[in-house]
Amino acid sequence: MSATIRSYRGADEGALLELWRVTMTHDRITPSVWRTKVLLDPNFDPDGLLVAEDDGALVGFVLSLVRRVPYFLQGLEPENGWITAFGVRLDHRRQGIGRALFDAALARMATLGRTRVAISPYTPNYFIPGVDVEAYPAALAFLHAFGWQTISTPIAMRAELTDFQIPPVIADLESRLRRDGIAVRSVQPTDLPALMAFTVEHFGWDWYRFAQEYLLALFGAGADDIGCWVAAHGEEIVGYCQHRRERFGPFGVAPAMRNRGIGRLLLFNSLADMVSRGFHCAWFLWTGQDAARLYHLAGFRQMRQFAIMQKSL
Ligand SMILES: CC(C)(COP(=O)(O)OP(=O)(O)OC[C@H]1O[C@@H](n2cnc3c(N)ncnc32)[C@H](O)[C@@H]1OP(=O)(O)O)[C@@H](O)C(=O)NCCC(=O)NCCS
Protein backbone atom coordinates (compact mmCIF):
# COMPACT_ATOMS: atom_id res chain seq x y z
CA MET A 1 0.00 0.00 0.00
CA SER A 2 1.52 3.29 -1.10
CA ALA A 3 -1.01 5.53 0.65
CA THR A 4 -0.34 7.09 4.02
CA ILE A 5 -2.98 7.51 6.71
CA ARG A 6 -3.27 10.82 8.53
CA SER A 7 -5.78 13.04 10.36
CA TYR A 8 -8.07 15.41 8.49
CA ARG A 9 -7.01 19.03 8.03
CA GLY A 10 -9.26 22.01 7.29
CA ALA A 11 -7.79 22.44 3.81
CA ASP A 12 -8.87 18.89 2.87
CA GLU A 13 -12.52 19.91 2.62
CA GLY A 14 -12.82 20.17 -1.17
CA ALA A 15 -10.94 16.93 -1.80
CA LEU A 16 -12.84 15.11 0.90
CA LEU A 17 -16.22 16.19 -0.44
CA GLU A 18 -15.20 15.02 -3.89
CA LEU A 19 -14.11 11.69 -2.42
CA TRP A 20 -17.44 11.46 -0.60
CA ARG A 21 -19.27 12.18 -3.87
CA VAL A 22 -17.64 9.33 -5.75
CA THR A 23 -17.74 6.77 -2.92
CA MET A 24 -20.89 7.46 -0.89
CA THR A 25 -22.75 7.61 -4.18
CA HIS A 26 -26.27 7.26 -2.78
CA ASP A 27 -25.77 9.71 0.08
CA ARG A 28 -24.22 12.82 -1.35
CA ILE A 29 -24.01 15.92 0.78
CA THR A 30 -23.45 19.65 0.27
CA PRO A 31 -20.58 21.61 1.83
CA SER A 32 -23.07 23.13 4.26
CA VAL A 33 -24.18 19.70 5.49
CA TRP A 34 -20.53 18.72 5.84
CA ARG A 35 -19.79 21.77 7.95
CA THR A 36 -22.89 21.59 10.14
CA LYS A 37 -23.14 17.84 10.67
CA VAL A 38 -19.45 17.04 10.82
CA LEU A 39 -17.08 19.95 11.41
CA LEU A 40 -19.35 21.79 13.86
CA ASP A 41 -20.40 18.69 15.74
CA PRO A 42 -18.98 19.15 19.27
CA ASN A 43 -17.82 15.53 19.16
CA PHE A 44 -15.87 16.05 15.95
CA ASP A 45 -12.15 15.44 16.34
CA PRO A 46 -9.91 15.61 13.25
CA ASP A 47 -8.04 12.59 14.62
CA GLY A 48 -11.24 10.55 14.28
CA LEU A 49 -11.56 11.52 10.63
CA LEU A 50 -8.75 9.61 8.98
CA VAL A 51 -7.81 10.11 5.38
CA ALA A 52 -5.59 8.10 3.06
CA GLU A 53 -3.30 10.19 0.91
CA ASP A 54 -1.51 8.91 -2.14
CA ASP A 55 0.80 11.08 -4.17
CA GLY A 56 -0.77 14.25 -2.76
CA ALA A 57 -4.37 13.16 -3.45
CA LEU A 58 -7.00 11.94 -1.00
CA VAL A 59 -8.02 8.43 -1.97
CA GLY A 60 -9.86 7.18 1.12
CA PHE A 61 -11.48 8.30 4.38
CA VAL A 62 -13.24 7.03 7.43
CA LEU A 63 -15.27 9.23 9.78
CA SER A 64 -15.34 7.86 13.33
CA LEU A 65 -16.77 9.48 16.44
CA VAL A 66 -16.91 9.13 20.19
CA ARG A 67 -18.90 11.43 22.45
CA ARG A 68 -16.86 14.17 24.10
CA VAL A 69 -19.96 15.96 25.36
CA PRO A 70 -22.99 14.18 26.81
CA TYR A 71 -26.06 13.79 24.64
CA PHE A 72 -28.79 15.15 26.93
CA LEU A 73 -29.32 12.58 29.71
CA GLN A 74 -28.20 9.79 27.38
CA GLY A 75 -24.78 10.89 28.54
CA LEU A 76 -21.37 10.11 27.08
CA GLU A 77 -22.06 6.46 26.28
CA PRO A 78 -18.42 5.78 27.17
CA GLU A 79 -18.45 2.25 25.79
CA ASN A 80 -19.67 3.29 22.31
CA GLY A 81 -18.00 4.54 19.17
CA TRP A 82 -19.45 5.08 15.71
CA ILE A 83 -18.35 5.11 12.08
CA THR A 84 -20.75 7.21 10.03
CA ALA A 85 -19.12 7.31 6.60
CA PHE A 86 -16.20 5.81 4.72
CA GLY A 87 -14.98 5.20 1.23
CA VAL A 88 -12.00 4.41 -0.93
CA ARG A 89 -11.70 5.71 -4.47
CA LEU A 90 -12.58 3.08 -7.05
CA ASP A 91 -9.13 3.03 -8.66
CA HIS A 92 -7.51 2.46 -5.26
CA ARG A 93 -9.67 -0.38 -3.98
CA ARG A 94 -8.44 -3.82 -2.98
CA GLN A 95 -5.05 -2.48 -1.98
CA GLY A 96 -5.64 -2.60 1.75
CA ILE A 97 -6.48 1.10 2.10
CA GLY A 98 -9.92 0.48 3.63
CA ARG A 99 -8.39 -1.94 6.08
CA ALA A 100 -5.63 0.50 7.06
CA LEU A 101 -8.17 3.29 7.62
CA PHE A 102 -10.39 1.06 9.74
CA ASP A 103 -7.42 -0.32 11.70
CA ALA A 104 -6.35 3.22 12.58
CA ALA A 105 -9.87 4.38 13.47
CA LEU A 106 -10.63 1.33 15.59
CA ALA A 107 -7.26 1.48 17.36
CA ARG A 108 -7.92 5.10 18.29
CA MET A 109 -11.37 4.30 19.62
CA ALA A 110 -9.97 1.37 21.64
CA THR A 111 -7.39 3.71 23.15
CA LEU A 112 -10.29 5.95 24.15
CA GLY A 113 -11.81 3.04 26.04
CA ARG A 114 -14.54 2.16 23.54
CA THR A 115 -15.61 -1.45 23.49
CA ARG A 116 -18.34 -1.29 20.83
CA VAL A 117 -18.39 0.43 17.45
CA ALA A 118 -21.48 0.71 15.28
CA ILE A 119 -22.07 1.71 11.66
CA SER A 120 -23.78 4.17 11.60
CA PRO A 121 -26.50 5.02 14.17
CA TYR A 122 -24.76 8.00 15.74
CA THR A 123 -27.37 10.47 16.98
CA PRO A 124 -28.00 13.15 15.99
CA ASN A 125 -25.46 13.45 13.18
CA TYR A 126 -25.75 10.17 11.36
CA PHE A 127 -26.23 10.13 7.60
CA ILE A 128 -27.80 6.72 7.08
CA PRO A 129 -28.88 4.10 9.65
CA GLY A 130 -26.33 1.53 8.46
CA VAL A 131 -24.81 0.16 5.24
CA ASP A 132 -27.33 0.26 2.37
CA VAL A 133 -27.15 -3.36 1.27
CA GLU A 134 -28.04 -2.71 -2.36
CA ALA A 135 -26.10 0.49 -2.83
CA TYR A 136 -22.88 -0.58 -1.11
CA PRO A 137 -22.29 -4.32 -1.62
CA ALA A 138 -18.52 -3.82 -1.51
CA ALA A 139 -18.78 -2.23 1.93
CA LEU A 140 -20.82 -5.16 3.17
CA ALA A 141 -18.27 -7.64 1.84
CA PHE A 142 -15.45 -5.58 3.31
CA LEU A 143 -17.07 -5.46 6.75
CA HIS A 144 -17.94 -9.16 6.69
CA ALA A 145 -14.30 -9.95 5.90
CA PHE A 146 -13.36 -8.29 9.17
CA GLY A 147 -15.99 -9.93 11.33
CA TRP A 148 -18.59 -7.16 11.54
CA GLN A 149 -22.07 -8.51 12.30
CA THR A 150 -25.50 -7.26 11.30
CA ILE A 151 -27.43 -6.42 14.47
CA SER A 152 -30.62 -5.06 12.91
CA THR A 153 -31.96 -4.26 9.46
CA PRO A 154 -33.94 -1.00 9.40
CA ILE A 155 -35.67 -0.02 6.17
CA ALA A 156 -36.41 3.31 4.52
CA MET A 157 -39.79 3.86 2.83
CA ARG A 158 -41.59 6.37 0.62
CA ALA A 159 -45.19 7.07 -0.47
CA GLU A 160 -46.34 8.94 -3.57
CA LEU A 161 -48.80 11.62 -2.45
CA THR A 162 -50.10 13.03 -5.73
CA ASP A 163 -53.51 11.37 -5.38
CA PHE A 164 -53.44 10.85 -1.65
CA GLN A 165 -56.86 11.02 0.05
CA ILE A 166 -58.09 10.22 3.51
CA PRO A 167 -60.18 7.05 3.04
CA PRO A 168 -63.66 6.75 4.63
CA VAL A 169 -62.42 4.15 7.10
CA ILE A 170 -59.97 6.66 8.54
CA ALA A 171 -62.67 9.35 8.67
CA ASP A 172 -64.88 6.91 10.64
CA LEU A 173 -61.99 6.22 12.95
CA GLU A 174 -61.61 9.92 13.59
CA SER A 175 -65.28 10.25 14.62
CA ARG A 176 -65.02 7.22 16.87
CA LEU A 177 -61.95 8.58 18.62
CA ARG A 178 -63.56 11.98 18.96
CA ARG A 179 -66.48 10.36 20.78
CA ASP A 180 -63.88 8.92 23.14
CA GLY A 181 -62.50 12.40 23.70
CA ILE A 182 -59.41 12.01 21.47
CA ALA A 183 -58.88 14.70 18.85
CA VAL A 184 -56.09 14.74 16.30
CA ARG A 185 -55.20 18.33 15.38
CA SER A 186 -52.19 20.44 14.70
CA VAL A 187 -49.99 21.35 17.64
CA GLN A 188 -50.81 24.42 19.75
CA PRO A 189 -48.36 26.33 21.93
CA THR A 190 -50.35 25.18 24.96
CA ASP A 191 -49.37 21.59 24.11
CA LEU A 192 -45.63 22.24 24.51
CA PRO A 193 -45.06 21.31 28.18
CA ALA A 194 -46.89 18.01 27.85
CA LEU A 195 -45.53 17.23 24.40
CA MET A 196 -41.87 17.69 25.27
CA ALA A 197 -42.22 15.57 28.40
CA PHE A 198 -44.00 12.93 26.32
CA THR A 199 -41.23 12.69 23.70
CA VAL A 200 -38.51 12.18 26.30
CA GLU A 201 -40.50 9.79 28.44
CA HIS A 202 -41.56 7.50 25.63
CA PHE A 203 -38.98 7.97 22.89
CA GLY A 204 -35.78 9.29 24.45
CA TRP A 205 -33.57 12.31 23.94
CA ASP A 206 -32.97 12.00 20.24
CA TRP A 207 -36.67 12.32 19.50
CA TYR A 208 -36.85 15.19 21.96
CA ARG A 209 -34.09 16.94 20.01
CA PHE A 210 -35.77 16.22 16.69
CA ALA A 211 -39.13 17.60 17.91
CA GLN A 212 -37.39 20.56 19.51
CA GLU A 213 -35.64 21.44 16.25
CA TYR A 214 -38.94 21.69 14.37
CA LEU A 215 -40.89 23.34 17.15
CA LEU A 216 -38.20 25.99 17.52
CA ALA A 217 -38.83 26.95 13.93
CA LEU A 218 -42.60 26.75 14.35
CA PHE A 219 -42.81 28.78 17.55
CA GLY A 220 -39.38 30.34 17.86
CA ALA A 221 -37.18 32.92 16.23
CA GLY A 222 -37.90 32.03 12.60
CA ALA A 223 -41.65 32.26 13.11
CA ASP A 224 -41.16 35.57 14.91
CA ASP A 225 -39.86 37.10 11.70
CA ILE A 226 -43.25 37.04 10.09
CA GLY A 227 -46.47 38.80 10.99
CA CYS A 228 -49.77 38.68 9.17
CA TRP A 229 -52.83 40.66 10.20
CA VAL A 230 -56.30 40.37 8.72
CA ALA A 231 -59.43 42.50 8.89
CA ALA A 232 -62.45 40.20 8.99
CA HIS A 233 -66.06 41.21 8.47
CA GLY A 234 -67.93 38.23 9.82
CA GLU A 235 -66.33 35.38 7.96
CA GLU A 236 -65.23 37.61 5.12
CA ILE A 237 -61.69 38.97 4.90
CA VAL A 238 -61.79 42.61 3.90
CA GLY A 239 -58.16 43.56 4.38
CA TYR A 240 -54.76 42.15 5.24
CA CYS A 241 -51.24 43.24 5.99
CA GLN A 242 -47.98 41.31 6.17
CA HIS A 243 -44.36 41.82 7.10
CA ARG A 244 -41.17 39.80 7.23
CA ARG A 245 -38.65 41.22 9.68
CA GLU A 246 -38.40 44.97 8.92
CA ARG A 247 -39.86 44.69 5.47
CA PHE A 248 -43.43 45.88 5.61
CA GLY A 249 -46.21 44.92 3.21
CA PRO A 250 -47.88 44.36 0.97
CA PHE A 251 -51.04 45.56 2.61
CA GLY A 252 -54.50 46.16 1.18
CA VAL A 253 -58.18 46.72 1.85
CA ALA A 254 -61.11 45.68 -0.36
CA PRO A 255 -62.16 48.64 -2.55
CA ALA A 256 -65.73 48.67 -1.14
CA MET A 257 -64.43 48.90 2.41
CA ARG A 258 -61.98 51.77 1.96
CA ASN A 259 -62.19 55.14 3.70
CA ARG A 260 -63.38 53.64 6.97
CA GLY A 261 -60.01 53.51 8.71
CA ILE A 262 -59.46 49.79 8.19
CA GLY A 263 -56.13 50.32 6.45
CA ARG A 264 -54.96 52.65 9.19
CA LEU A 265 -55.84 50.10 11.84
CA LEU A 266 -54.02 47.32 10.01
CA LEU A 267 -50.98 49.51 9.52
CA PHE A 268 -50.71 50.68 13.12
CA ASN A 269 -51.36 47.24 14.59
CA SER A 270 -48.81 45.73 12.32
CA LEU A 271 -46.16 48.30 13.22
CA ALA A 272 -46.85 47.82 16.94
CA ASP A 273 -46.42 44.10 16.38
CA MET A 274 -43.10 44.69 14.61
CA VAL A 275 -41.64 46.82 17.37
CA SER A 276 -42.71 44.28 19.99
CA ARG A 277 -40.75 41.66 18.01
CA GLY A 278 -37.63 43.77 18.33
CA PHE A 279 -37.55 45.38 14.87
CA HIS A 280 -36.44 48.99 14.99
CA CYS A 281 -37.67 50.22 11.66
CA ALA A 282 -40.08 49.36 8.88
CA TRP A 283 -39.43 49.78 5.18
CA PHE A 284 -40.82 48.98 1.78
CA LEU A 285 -39.75 49.65 -1.73
CA TRP A 286 -42.81 50.61 -3.68
CA THR A 287 -45.83 52.80 -3.15
CA GLY A 288 -47.64 55.72 -4.85
CA GLN A 289 -48.33 59.26 -3.66
CA ASP A 290 -51.83 58.51 -2.33
CA ALA A 291 -50.80 55.70 -0.03
CA ALA A 292 -47.76 57.72 1.02
CA ARG A 293 -50.10 60.09 2.89
CA LEU A 294 -51.36 57.21 4.98
CA TYR A 295 -47.84 55.98 5.64
CA HIS A 296 -46.89 59.50 6.64
CA LEU A 297 -49.39 59.34 9.51
CA ALA A 298 -47.47 56.41 10.93
CA GLY A 299 -44.10 58.13 10.70
CA PHE A 300 -42.84 56.88 7.33
CA ARG A 301 -40.54 59.28 5.48
CA GLN A 302 -39.36 59.08 1.89
CA MET A 303 -35.97 57.45 1.53
CA ARG A 304 -35.58 57.06 -2.24
CA GLN A 305 -37.50 57.89 -5.36
CA PHE A 306 -37.34 55.82 -8.51
CA ALA A 307 -38.04 56.54 -12.11
CA ILE A 308 -39.59 53.66 -14.00
CA MET A 309 -38.65 54.30 -17.60
CA GLN A 310 -39.95 53.21 -20.94
CA LYS A 311 -39.40 53.90 -24.60
CA SER A 312 -41.79 53.28 -27.48
CA LEU A 313 -40.16 51.86 -30.54
C1 LIG B 1 -15.82 -0.61 1.36
C2 LIG B 1 -14.56 0.04 0.82
C3 LIG B 1 -14.25 1.26 1.67
C4 LIG B 1 -13.40 -0.97 0.90
O5 LIG B 1 -12.20 -0.28 0.60
P6 LIG B 1 -10.88 -1.04 0.08
O7 LIG B 1 -9.73 -0.13 0.24
O8 LIG B 1 -11.17 -1.57 -1.30
O9 LIG B 1 -10.79 -2.26 1.09
P10 LIG B 1 -9.48 -3.18 1.33
O11 LIG B 1 -8.61 -3.18 0.14
O12 LIG B 1 -8.85 -2.78 2.59
O13 LIG B 1 -10.20 -4.59 1.51
C14 LIG B 1 -9.88 -5.42 2.57
C15 LIG B 1 -10.65 -6.72 2.43
O16 LIG B 1 -12.08 -6.48 2.47
C17 LIG B 1 -12.73 -7.40 1.57
N18 LIG B 1 -13.35 -6.66 0.46
C19 LIG B 1 -13.21 -5.35 0.15
N20 LIG B 1 -13.95 -5.04 -0.93
C21 LIG B 1 -14.55 -6.16 -1.32
C22 LIG B 1 -15.42 -6.49 -2.40
N23 LIG B 1 -15.82 -5.55 -3.30
N24 LIG B 1 -15.87 -7.75 -2.51
C25 LIG B 1 -15.46 -8.68 -1.62
N26 LIG B 1 -14.65 -8.45 -0.62
C27 LIG B 1 -14.18 -7.20 -0.44
C28 LIG B 1 -11.66 -8.35 1.06
O29 LIG B 1 -11.55 -9.40 1.96
C30 LIG B 1 -10.43 -7.44 1.14
O31 LIG B 1 -9.22 -8.17 1.21
P32 LIG B 1 -8.54 -8.72 -0.18
O33 LIG B 1 -8.54 -7.58 -1.16
O34 LIG B 1 -7.18 -9.14 0.26
O35 LIG B 1 -9.44 -9.82 -0.63
C36 LIG B 1 -14.77 0.46 -0.66
O37 LIG B 1 -15.28 -0.62 -1.38
C38 LIG B 1 -15.69 1.63 -0.88
O39 LIG B 1 -15.26 2.77 -0.87
N40 LIG B 1 -17.00 1.38 -1.14
C41 LIG B 1 -17.95 2.46 -1.43
C42 LIG B 1 -18.24 3.35 -0.25
C43 LIG B 1 -19.11 2.69 0.76
O44 LIG B 1 -19.79 1.72 0.50
N45 LIG B 1 -19.15 3.29 1.97
C46 LIG B 1 -19.95 2.80 3.04
C47 LIG B 1 -21.32 3.35 3.02
S48 LIG B 1 -22.19 2.90 4.49
- The CA 23 to ligand 1 mean position distance, Å, reads 11
Q: Is 158 a domain residue?
A: no
Indicate whether residue 143 lines ligand 1 (CB < 6 A). no
Q: What is the pTM of this model?
A: 0.78
Indicate whether residue 238 lines ligand 1 (CB < 6 A). no
Nearest CA to ligand 1 atom 1: 139
Mean pLDDT of 4-12: 97
Q: Is 275 a domain residue?
A: yes
Q: Please report the pLDDT score of residue 185 as a whole number.
A: 84
Residues above pLDDT 90, as percent of the chain: 67
Indicate whether residue 130 lines ligand 1 (CB < 6 A). no
Mean pLDDT of 177-203: 90
Tell which atom from ligand 1 comes closest to the C-alpha of 99: 12
Q: Is 289 a domain residue?
A: yes
**Which of 206, 222, 238 represents a domain boundary (last residue)?**
222
Identify the domain containing residue 284 by its residue range: 225-297
In this structure, are 214 and 181 located in the same domain? yes
In this structure, are 14 and 133 located in the same domain? yes
Q: Please report the pLDDT score of residue 221 as a whole number.
A: 77
Return contacts of 246-250, CB within 8 angstroms, 24+ apart. Answer: 246/274, 246/279, 246/280, 246/281, 246/282, 246/283, 247/282, 247/283, 247/284, 248/274, 248/282, 248/283, 248/284, 249/284
Indicate whether residue 245 lines ligand 1 (CB < 6 A). no
Check pLDDT > 90 for residue 92. yes
Q: How far apart are CA 176 and CA 181, in angstroms?
A: 9
In this structure, are 175 and 255 located in the same domain? no
Q: Please report the pLDDT score of residue 52 as a whole number.
A: 98
Check pLDDT > 90 for residue 65. yes
Q: What are phi and psi for residue 128, nearest 5 degrees?
A: -140, 155
What would the pLDDT profile of 292-301 be if each residue is shown by its tens digit?
888 998 999 9
Q: Which of 5-14, 67-76, 229-238 has the highest mean pLDDT?
A: 5-14
In this structure, are 213 and 100 located in the same domain? no
Q: Please report the pLDDT score of residue 312 as a whole number.
A: 67
**Which of 83, 111, 145 represents a domain boundary (last residue)?**
145
Indicate whether residue 98 lines ligand 1 (CB < 6 A). yes
Q: Which of 7-16, 190-199, 236-245, 263-272 has the highest mean pLDDT?
A: 7-16
Q: Is 124 a domain residue?
A: yes
In this structure, are 185 and 233 located in the same domain? no
In this structure, are 86 and 28 located in the same domain? yes
Q: Which of 58-67, 107-116, 198-207 is predicted least confidently?
A: 198-207
In this structure, are 104 and 16 located in the same domain? yes
Contact 109, 81 (CB under 8 A): yes
- The CA 140 to ligand 1 mean position distance, Å, reads 8
Check pLDDT > 70 for residue 56. yes
What mean pLDDT value characterizes the chain? 92
Number of domains in the chain: 3
Q: Please report the pLDDT score of residue 186 as a whole number.
A: 86
Nearest CA to ligand 1 atom 7: 98
